[in-house]
Amino acid sequence: MPQLISPAELDRLVRSGAVRVLDVRYRLDRPDGSADHLDGHVPGAVYVDMETELSRHGRPEDGRHPLPATEDLQAAARRWGVHDGDTIVIYDDDRALGASRAWWLLTRSGVVDVRLLDGGLRAWVAAGLPLETGPVVPEPGDVSLAHIVEPVLSIDEAAALPASGVLIDVRAAERYRGEVEPVDPIPGHIPGAVNLPTTAYMDGERFRDAASLRALFGGVGVAEGVTAAAYCGSGVTAAQAAFAAELAGLRLGIYPGSWSQWSNMPGRPIATGAAPAEVTATV
């Protein structure tokens, strides 16, 4: 099943009515993208809210974007008008961050045909394709979602993974090294984690080609047969890494609690600097 779809291909599906389009516009500095959606979206696209539908509210020690309960995600997907067997195309306007989170949740819940719009909303606009304004409220769907069982790591599994596999921190290098931390309470990274920032596998709004992605992941030890998982600040960008890995023919698990959970848990060791095993402090 293809993971990406071009604007021209999506336009044909939209015109034929053979697709459910989801708009997951989300930015860390502007988490509510509903106003942008109302101002202009791919025709028929339903707005999906990151904070209330693709995550749940939790305590600080749960992380900033805990995974939603299966029944809540299923109710949201039915609100989006999703039926079993539908082709689903997802987009956003910020490097496929929100779109990848929705892709990961749906595919790991058993939905088969889920694709991302290659280049996001900017590619759609650049292709001269039309935008629609106002709200989109489809007839409710009847999709049935399965409980996500793998590959999802608990905090203890994330701590243990570097001893037997590869744990990737996909945050910016300066956050990994502990030089800055603009969001979470303590800077640094999980001991033993390697760093592969999201900027490495993105070219603007598009993912790099499969060969380049495979080489990038191979450079940090990820290959077929190697157990590997990604984490980020709150579990959103980690899904983007999982999508990039899948384009390369690889499989990444996700530690959804990510640094926002780890840094809020007293007693968890903290590493800083470029050496992945250098433990310099404890929370």
pLDDT single digits (tens) 1-18: 679 999 999 999 999 999
Are residues 173 and 63 part of one domain? no
Average pLDDT, stretch 158-169? 98
The total number of structural domains in the chain stands at: 2
- Split at pLDDT 50, 70, 90, the class of 281 is very low
Q: Which of these, 119, 51, 52, lies nearest to 91 by C-alpha position? A: 119
92 and 163 both lie in a single domain:
no
Pairing verdict, β 269-271 and 279-282: antiparallel
Query: Which DSSP symbol is given to 270?
Result: E
Instruction: Give pLDDT tens digits for 164-186.
Output: 999 999 999 999 999 999 999 99
- Other CB atoms within 10 A of residue 203 CB: 12
Determine, yes or no, domain membership for 53. Answer: yes
Q: Are 196 and 267 in a shared domain? A: yes
**Is residue 274 very low, low, confident or very high in pLDDT (cuts 50, 70, 90)?**
confident
Position 141 in a domain: no
* Per-residue pLDDT at 152 exceeds 90: yes
What does pLDDT average to over the chain?
94
How would you class 98 by CB atoms within 10 Å of its CB: exposed for 0-12, middle for 13-18, buried for 19 or more?
Answer: buried
**Same-domain check for residues 121 and 161:** no
Are both 120 and 17 inside the same structural domain?
yes
pTM for the whole structure: 0.95
Domain extent for 254: 155-282
Residue 81 belongs to some domain of the structure: yes
Same domain membership, residue 168 and residue 88: no
Examine the domain organization and report whether 165 and 115 are in the same domain.
no
In a shared domain, residues 37 and 78 = yes
C-alpha dihedral (265, 270, 276, 278), degrees to nearest 10: -150
Q: Same domain for 58 and 176?
A: no
According to DSSP, the residues that pair with 269 across neighbouring strands are 282
Interatomic CA distance for residues 48 and 28, integer angstroms: 15
pLDDT at position 275, please? 62
- Comparing 62-71, 217-226, 274-283, the range with the smallest average pLDDT is 274-283
Q: Per the domain annotation, does 26 fall within a domain? A: yes
Q: Does the annotation mark 259 as catalytic? A: no
Examine the domain organization and report whether 226 and 187 are in the same domain.
Answer: yes
Establish if 148 belongs to a structural domain: no
Is position 159 within any domain? yes
Mean pLDDT value across residues 229-242: 96
* CA pair distance 165, 272, nearest whole angstrom: 20
> Does residue 277 lie in a domain region?
yes
- 107 and 161, same domain (yes or no): no
- What's 14's domain CATH number? 3.40.250.10
Judge whether 177 lies within some domain: yes
Residues 159 and 277 in one domain: yes
Q: How many CB atoms are located within 10 Å of the residue 211 CB? A: 9
Q: Catalytic residue among 155, 232, 245, 247, which?
A: 232
